[in-house]
Amino acid sequence: MKINIDQVANLARLNLTEEEKKLFGEQLSNVLDHAEELQKLNTDNVKPTSHAIPMKNILREDKVVPCKNTKDILKNAPEEEDNMFKVPRIIEE
Amino acid sequence: MTSKYETVIGLEIHAQLSTESKMFCSCSTKFGAEPNTNICEVCTGQPGALPKTNKKAIELAIKTGLALNCKIEPYSVFARKNYFYPDLPKAYQISQFDLPIITGGYLEIEVEGKKKKIKLTRIHLEEDAGKLVHKGAERIMGSEESLVDYNRGGTPLMEIVTEPDIRSPLEAKIFMEDLAHLLQYLGVCDAKMEQGSLRCDANISIRPVGQKELGTRSELKNMNSFRFVQMGLTAEVARHTELKESGEKIIQETRYFDTKTHETKSMRSKEEAHDYRYFPEPDLITVEPDKEWIEEIKTTITELPEKKKERYTKEYGLSDQAAETLISTKELSDYFESCLKIEKKPKEITNWILGDITAYLKAKNLNIKDINLPPGEVIELIKLIEKGTISGKIAKEVIVKTLNTGKTIKDIVSESGSTQISNEDELQKIVEEAIKNSPKQVEQYKSGKKAIIGYLVGQVMKASKGRANPGLANKLLKQQLD
Pairwise CA distance, residues B57 & A59, whole Å: 10
The reply to whether A90 touches chain B by the CB within 8 Å rule is yes
Write down the pTM of the prediction: 0.81
- Give a yes or no: residue B258 inside a domain: yes
Pairwise CA distance, residues A32 & A24, whole Å: 12
Strands (DSSP E) found in B209-351: 218-221, 254-258, 263-266, 279-280
**Where is average pLDDT lowest: A11-25, A33-47, B61-75, B428-442?**
B428-442
Confidence of residue B314 (pLDDT cuts 50, 70, 90): very high
Is the Cβ pair B35, A82 closer than 8 Å?
Answer: yes
B426 vs B66, residue with greater confidence: B66
B28 vs B410, residue with greater confidence: B28
Average pLDDT over residues B379-396: 86
Question: B217 with B163, same domain?
Answer: yes
Pairwise CA distance, residues B438 & B452, whole Å: 11
- Give a yes or no: residue B300 inside a domain: no
Question: B213 with B279, same domain?
Answer: yes
Residues 75-94 of B with CB under 8 A from A: 77, 82, 84-86
**What is the model's pLDDT at position B339?**
95
Q: For B440-460, give the DSSP string.
A: HHHHHHHTT-GGGHHHHHHHH
**What is the model's pLDDT at position B452?**
87
- Give a yes or no: residue B138 inside a domain: yes
The CA distances from residue A2 to A11, A30, A39, A58, B282, in Å, are 17, 9, 17, 39, 26
Question: B364 with B344, same domain?
Answer: yes
Query: Domain limits at B112?
Result: 5-294
What's the CATH code of the domain at B464? 1.10.10.410
The reply to whether B277 touches chain A by the CB within 8 Å rule is yes
Question: B133 with B103, same domain?
Answer: yes
Q: Where are the alpha helices (DSSP H) in chain A?
A: 5-11, 18-39, 70-74
Interior/surface letters B3-34, b for 16+ CB within 10 angstroms, e for the rest: eebbbbbbbbbbbbbbbebbbbbbbbbeeeee
Percentage of chain B with pLDDT > 70? Answer: 96
- Give a yes or no: residue B299 inside a domain: no
The reply to whether B338 touches chain A by the CB within 8 Å rule is no
Q: Nearest C-alpha of chain B: how many angstroms from A90?
A: 7
Q: Nearest C-alpha of chain A: how many angstroms from B174?
A: 33
Q: Among residues B275, B294, B313, which one ends one of the domains?
A: B294
**Where is average pLDDT lowest: B39-43, B132-136, B137-141, B374-378?**
B137-141
Question: B189 with B248, same domain?
Answer: yes
Q: What φ, ψ does residue A55 adopt, rounded to 5°?
A: -140, 155
Is the Cβ pair B147, A92 closer than 8 Å?
Answer: no
Question: B335 with B364, same domain?
Answer: yes
Q: Nearest C-alpha of chain B: how many angstroms from A20?
A: 22
Question: B274 with B361, same domain?
Answer: no
Please say if the pLDDT value at position B275 is more than 90: no
Question: B314 with B289, same domain?
Answer: no
Q: Which helix (H) or strand (E) holds B162?
A: strand B156-162
B89 vs B422, residue with greater confidence: B89
Confidence of residue A67 (pLDDT cuts 50, 70, 90): very high
Confidence of residue B137 (pLDDT cuts 50, 70, 90): low
Confidence of residue A47 (pLDDT cuts 50, 70, 90): confident
- Give a yes or no: residue B132 inside a domain: yes
Question: B124 with B205, same domain?
Answer: yes
The reply to whether A42 touches chain B by the CB within 8 Å rule is no
**What is the model's pLDDT at position B457?**
87
Question: B286 with B321, same domain?
Answer: no
Pairwise CA distance, residues B218 & A14, whole Å: 32
Average pLDDT score, chain B: 91
Question: B271 with B153, same domain?
Answer: yes
Q: Nearest C-alpha of chain A: how many angstroms from B48?
A: 14
Is the Cβ pair A59, B26 closer than 8 Å?
Answer: no
- Give a yes or no: residue B211 inside a domain: yes
Pairing of strands B218-221, B198-208: antiparallel
The reply to whether A6 touches chain B by the CB within 8 Å rule is no
Count of domains observed in chain B = 3
ipTM rounded to 2 decimals: 0.91
**What is the model's pLDDT at position B270?**
47
B82 vs B428, residue with greater confidence: B82
Q: Among residues B416, B434, B464, which one ends one of the domains?
A: B416
Pairwise CA distance, residues B482 & A50, whole Å: 94
- Give a yes or no: residue B13 inside a domain: yes
Average pLDDT score, chain A: 90
Question: B144 with B105, same domain?
Answer: yes
